Amino acid sequence: MIYKGKVHKVGEHIDTDAIIPARFLVTSDPEKLGKNCMAGIEPDWVKRVQKGDILVAGRNFGCGSSREHAPIAILGAGMPLVIGHSFARIFYRNAFNMGLPLLEIGDQVAQIKDGDELEVDMEKGVIRDLTTGSEIQFPPMPSSMTAILNKGGLVGYVKDRLTKEG
């Protein structure tokens, strides 16, 4: 899978309440949650996002509570991928379960600037910064995680497995 989009960069220790504040948790509809994505940082932050854009984060992204609404809000905002220095473990698992791929690239995240245009080749393990011409290598996604993502998350993956097993 190849992703291409403009970078929207956020800082370090962004918690799930910043990603989708509690007052918006009255639904699990991706579109409704997406309209309020990052409202805990800036109320109209999401208005700058175009479908396909890429969220880039600093250390410990997704810390705080274990709400599944946070990755749903990111997907609902039109961002199909998050690249970060590091992720809170529960957010990491929730993201994949909801069908949102995460790439943890450590200190190399500093090379990516807000507004850059990226092309991410998940199969080859390459992030190309089309703005600067630089490349960042990362380990390709394990096939087990790719299988979950290809089914839109863990629920879709399990349903598919159960259907095939009869």
Q: Write the pLDDT tens digit of every residue in 70-125.
A: 999 999 999 999 999 999 999 999 999 999 999 999 999 999 999 999 999 998 99
Crossing angle of helices 154-165 and 89-98, rounded to 10°: 50
Give the DSSP letter string of 79-98: ---EEES-B-HHHHHHHHHH
pLDDT at 114: 97
pLDDT at 124: 92
Domains detected in the chain: 2-165 (3.20.19.10)
Separation of CA 139 from chain center: 17
